A and B are shown apart, each in its own frame.
Chain A
Amino acid sequence: MLEIKNLHARIAEDGTEIIRGLDLTVKAGEVAAIMGPNGSGKSTLSYILSGREDYEVTEGDILYNGESILELDPSERAAKGIFLAFQYPVEIPGVATMQFLKVALNEQRKYRGEEELSTPDFIRRVKEASARLQINPDMLKRPLNVGFSGGEKKRAEILQMALLEPKLCVLDETDSGLDIDALKIVADGVNALRSPDRAVVVITHYQRLLEYIVPDSVHVLYKGQIIKSGDKSLALDLEANGYADIIDAAA
Chain B
Amino acid sequence: MAAVQETIDQVALIDVDQYKYGFETKIEMDKAPKGLSEEIIRFISAKKQEPEWMLEWRLEAYRRWLTLEEPTWARVNYPKIDFNDIYYYAAPKSTPGPTSIDDVDPEILKVYEKLGIPLREQEMLAGVKTSRIAVDAVFDSVSVVTTFKEELKKAGVIFMSISEAIREHPDLVRKYLGSVVPTTDNYYATLNSAVFTDGSFVLVPKGVRCPMELSTYFRINEKNTGQFERTLIIAEEGAYVSYLEGCTAPQRDENQLHAAVVELVALDDAEIKYSTVQNWYPGDKNGKGGIYNFVTKRGDCRGKNSKISWTQVETGSAITWKYPSCILRGDGSRGEFYSIAVSNGHQQIDSGTKMIHLGKNTSSRIISKGIAAGVSQNTYRGQVSTHRRAENARNFTQCDSLLIGDKCGAHTVPYIEARNASAQFEHEATTSKISEDQLFYCLQRGIPEEAAIALIVNGFVKEVIQELPMEFAVEAQKLIGISLEGSVG
Chain B residues, CB < 8 A from A93: 459-460
Chain B residues, CB < 8 A from A94: 458-463
The B-contacting residues of A in range 55-95, CB under 8 angstroms, are: 73-75, 78-79, 83-84, 86, 89-95
Instruction: Decide: A104 near B459, CB < 8 A? Known: A13-B1, A53-B1, A53-B2.
Output: no
Q: Are B1 and A100 in contact (CB under 8 A)?
A: no
Q: How far is the CA of A100 from the CA of B447 in the complex (A)?
A: 9
Instruction: Decide: A107 near B443, CB < 8 A? Known: A93-B460, A94-B459, A94-B462.
Output: no
Chain B residues, CB < 8 A from A86: 441, 444
1/0 contact string of A121-160 vs chain B (CB within 8 Å): 0000000000000000000000100000000000000001
The A-contacting residues of B in range 356-385, CB under 8 angstroms, are: none
B28-36, B305-313, B319-327, B449-457 - interface stretch: B449-457
Q: Are B451 and A95 in contact (CB under 8 A)?
A: no
Q: How far is the CA of A92 from the CA of B444 in the complex (A)?
A: 14
Chain A residues, CB < 8 A from B413: none
Q: How far is the CA of A108 from the CA of B444 in the complex (A)?
A: 10
Q: Are B446 and A53 in contact (CB under 8 A)?
A: no
Smallest Cβ-Cβ distance to A47: which chain B residue: B440
Smallest Cβ-Cβ distance to B443: which chain A residue: A74
Q: Are B1 and A78 in contact (CB under 8 A)?
A: no
Q: How far is the CA of A46 from the CA of B27 in the complex (A)?
A: 62
The yes or no answer to A164 lying at the interface (CB within 8 A) is yes
- Which one, A13, A52, A75, A100, contacts B455 given CB within 8 A? A100
Q: How far is the CA of A86 from the CA of B444 in the complex (A)?
A: 10
Q: Are A12 and B2 in contact (CB under 8 A)?
A: yes
The yes or no answer to B445 lying at the interface (CB within 8 A) is yes
The B-contacting residues of A in range 1-60, CB under 8 angstroms, are: 12-13, 50-54
- Which one, A73, A74, A95, A107, contacts B459 given CB within 8 A? A95
Chain B residues, CB < 8 A from A107: 445-448, 451
Chain A residues, CB < 8 A from B449: 75
The yes or no answer to B442 lying at the interface (CB within 8 A) is yes
Interface range on chain B (Cβ under 8 Å from partner)? 20 to 34
Nearest Cβ distance between residue A226 and chain B, in whole angstroms? Answer: 24
Nearest Cβ distance between residue B342 and chain A, in whole angstroms? Answer: 15
Nearest Cβ distance between residue B476 and chain A, in whole angstroms? Answer: 15
Nearest Cβ distance between residue B452 and chain A, in whole angstroms? Answer: 8
Chain A residues, CB < 8 A from B155: none
Q: Are B1 and A103 in contact (CB under 8 A)?
A: no
The yes or no answer to B424 lying at the interface (CB within 8 A) is no
Nearest Cβ distance between residue A33 and chain B, in whole angstroms? Answer: 21
Q: Are A73 and B443 in contact (CB under 8 A)?
A: yes
Q: Are A12 and B1 in contact (CB under 8 A)?
A: yes
Q: Among B447, B449, B458, which residue has the most Cβ atoms of chain A within 10 A?
A: B447
The yes or no answer to B437 lying at the interface (CB within 8 A) is yes
Q: Among B2, B436, B444, B452, which residue has the most Cβ atoms of chain A within 10 A?
A: B444
Q: How far is the CA of A75 from the CA of B340 in the complex (A)?
A: 29
Nearest Cβ distance between residue A172 and chain B, in whole angstroms? Answer: 11
Q: How far is the CA of A164 from the CA of B437 in the complex (A)?
A: 20
Chain B residues, CB < 8 A from A89: 441
Nearest Cβ distance between residue B453 and chain A, in whole angstroms? Answer: 12
Smallest Cβ-Cβ distance to B456: which chain A residue: A92
Chain A residues, CB < 8 A from B463: 94
Q: Are A75 and B459 in contact (CB under 8 A)?
A: no
The yes or no answer to B488 lying at the interface (CB within 8 A) is no
Nearest Cβ distance between residue A50 and chain B, in whole angstroms? Answer: 5
Q: How far is the CA of A170 from the CA of B435 in the complex (A)?
A: 22
Q: Are B445 and A160 in contact (CB under 8 A)?
A: yes
- Which one, B3, B435, B444, contacts A50 given CB within 8 A? B444
The yes or no answer to B438 lying at the interface (CB within 8 A) is yes
Q: How far is the CA of A50 from the CA of B1 in the complex (A)?
A: 16
The A-contacting residues of B in range 199-215, CB under 8 angstroms, are: none
Q: Are A143 and B447 in contact (CB under 8 A)?
A: no
Instruction: Decide: A103 near B451, CB < 8 A? Known: A12-B1, A53-B1, A143-B459.
Output: yes
Instruction: Decide: A53 near B3, CB < 8 A? Known: A90-B438, A94-B461, A95-B458.
Output: yes
Q: Are A104 and B446 in contact (CB under 8 A)?
A: yes
Chain A residues, CB < 8 A from B447: 75, 103-104, 107
Q: How far is the CA of A111 from the CA of B445 in the complex (A)?
A: 12
1/0 contact string of B57-81 vs chain A (CB within 8 Å): 0000000000000000000000000
Q: How far is the CA of A94 from the CA of B444 in the complex (A)?
A: 19
Q: Among B449, B459, B463, which residue has the most Cβ atoms of chain A within 10 A?
A: B459
Chain A residues, CB < 8 A from B440: 52, 74, 90
Q: How far is the CA of A53 from the CA of B442 in the complex (A)?
A: 14
Smallest Cβ-Cβ distance to A101: which chain B residue: B445
Q: How far is the CA of A219 from the CA of B445 in the complex (A)?
A: 26
Q: How far is the CA of A94 from the CA of B449 in the complex (A)?
A: 18
Smallest Cβ-Cβ distance to B454: which chain A residue: A103
Q: Are B438 and A164 in contact (CB under 8 A)?
A: no
Chain A residues, CB < 8 A from B445: 75, 78, 100, 104, 107-108, 160, 164
Q: How far is the CA of A204 from the CA of B440 in the complex (A)?
A: 22
Nearest Cβ distance between residue A104 and chain B, in whole angstroms? Answer: 4
Q: How far is the CA of A65 from the CA of B173 in the complex (A)?
A: 75
Q: Are B444 and A84 in contact (CB under 8 A)?
A: yes
Q: Are A92 and B438 in contact (CB under 8 A)?
A: yes
Chain A residues, CB < 8 A from B443: 51, 73-75, 78
Q: How far is the CA of A54 from the CA of B435 in the complex (A)?
A: 13
Sampled A-B contacts (10; CB under 8 Å): A53-B3, A73-B443, A75-B448, A78-B443, A89-B441, A94-B463, A100-B455, A107-B448, A107-B451, A111-B446
7 new A-B pairs (CB below 8 Å) besides A50-B444, A107-B448, A111-B446?
A: A51-B443, A51-B444, A52-B440, A92-B442, A94-B461, A95-B462, A100-B455
| 7 nearest CB pairs, A to B | A94-B459, A53-B2, A95-B459, A78-B446, A108-B446, A74-B443, A104-B445
Residues of B at under 8 Å CB distance from A? 1-3, 435-438, 440-449, 451-452, 455-456, 458-463
